[in-house]
């Protein structure tokens, strides 16, 4: 691991944060260490982004992303502007490229929570200020950084730590998998047939794990996946936009529920993680979600601290 002094020397000012794999292993570790320092020493960074403006475009609903980014900017001395796509000319047909060019003249950074990843790529290509991915259909990098921060707080390291993800091979799984193997964690992904992570994502993760020496496992057997796990992670079975598939998904995922029986197969001190919102009684039982092993609300708070590190590193003057 880097020291905090070395972490502060990492320079990615002016770049975009669209996905973790755009950055080096050292940069990802640096962001985690910086987030940890910011969480412990809030006042030290209170004017770090004084006078800076972040525009936040939302094309999908949000609780954690909106509040954590806005709070992060305020705590760093800056200001965040919420912009629903329905309130912008985006909602009336203005192109994402034109929006990026216009906002670049007003703001110091843009965060967008949207649907297609190609849409955020088009925005970043047109904008002349940093663009941050608040969520797309392929990636959720800020969530993964918060998850890595949570692991670091609890374990003090990444190497030798095992994360098991149980459920849908979605955008959260993609970013978490990349972040885990980039930092040298062992990672197991267990999904039902037909719900696997995208083949290209698995291929990228396999190449990274070969470089970092981490163990990467793909299986349809959740009991196999969680053996030796220090963390078990899940997400909702039906995400926004998949409501018509809900009944089928409930049936397909029924043996992938994280319950006390599954937790008992992992390490004795295994922690439960979830990106939220959670559906108790579906992907996780209430006794696990609200039990002593659950660190989901620590994760949720860490969204703000991880994003402070991203904002500071990309936007500082």
* Residues in binding site for carbamoyl phosphate: 62-65, 89, 113, 140-143, 275-276, 303
- Give catalytic status of residue 299 as yes or no: no
Annotated binding site: 62-65, 89, 113, 140-143, 171, 235, 239-240, 275-276, 303
- Give catalytic status of residue 279 as yes or no: no
Annotated binding site for L-ornithine: 171, 235, 239-240
d(CA 280, CA 24): 37
Helix axes 25-40, 296-315, angle to 10 degrees: 110
d(CA 112, CA 40): 27
d(CA 17, CA 22): 8
- Give catalytic status of residue 113 as yes or no: yes
d(CA 143, CA 165): 14
d(CA 32, CA 309): 8
- Active-site residue, from 37, 75, 113, 274: 113
d(CA 115, CA 117): 7
Residue whose entry in the numeric block shows the structure tokens 């964690």 = 185
- Active-site residue, from 143, 257, 299, 307: 143
Structure tokens at 221: 């057997």
- Give catalytic status of residue 143 as yes or no: yes
Structure tokens at 263: 């937790």
- Give catalytic status of residue 270 as yes or no: no
- Active-site residue, from 37, 140, 186, 270: 140
Structure tokens at 99: 């929006």
Structure tokens at 70: 């806005």
Structure tokens at 122: 């088009």
- Active-site residue, from 235, 270, 305, 307: 235
d(CA 222, CA 127): 43
Active-site annotation, residues: 113, 140, 143, 235, 275, 303
């Amino acid at each position: 691991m880097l020291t905090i002094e070395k972490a502060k020397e990492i320079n990615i000012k002016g770049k975009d944060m669209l996905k973790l794999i755009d950055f080096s292993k050292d940069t990802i570790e640096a962001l985690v260490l910086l987030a940890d320092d910011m969480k412990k020493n809030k006042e030290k960074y209170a004017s770090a982004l004084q006078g800076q403006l972040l525009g936040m475009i939302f094309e999908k609903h949000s609780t954690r992303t909106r509040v954590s980014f806005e709070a992060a900017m305020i705590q760093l001395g800056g200001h965040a502007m919420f912009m629903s796509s329905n309130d912008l000319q985006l909602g009336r047909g203005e192109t994402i490229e034109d929006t990026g060019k216009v906002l670049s003249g007003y703001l110091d950074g843009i965060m967008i929570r949207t649907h297609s990843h190609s849409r955020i790529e088009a925005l970043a290509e047109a904008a002349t200020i940093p663009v941050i991915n608040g969520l797309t259909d392929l990636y959720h990098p800020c969530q993964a950084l918060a998850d890595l921060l949570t692991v670091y707080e609890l374990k003090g390291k990444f190497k030798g730590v095992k994360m098991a993800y149980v459920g849908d091979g979605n955008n959260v799984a993609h970013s978490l998998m990349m972040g885990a193997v980039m930092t040298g964690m062992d990672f197991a992904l267990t999904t039902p047939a037909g719900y696997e992570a995208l083949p290209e994502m698995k291929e990228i993760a396999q190449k990274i794990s070969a470089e970092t020496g981490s163990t990467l496992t793909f299986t349809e057997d959740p009991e196999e996946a969680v053996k030796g796990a220090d963390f078990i992670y899940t997400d909702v079975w039906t995400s926004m936009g998949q409501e018509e598939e809900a009944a089928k998904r409930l049936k397909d995922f029924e043996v992938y529920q994280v319950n006390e029986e599954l937790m008992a197969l992992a390490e004795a001190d295994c922690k439960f993680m979830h990106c939220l919102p959670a559906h108790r009684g579906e992907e996780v039982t209430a006794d696990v979600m609200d039990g002593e092993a659950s660190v989901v609300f620590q994760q949720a708070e860490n969204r703000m601290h991880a994003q402070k590190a991203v904002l500071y590193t990309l936007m500082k003057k």
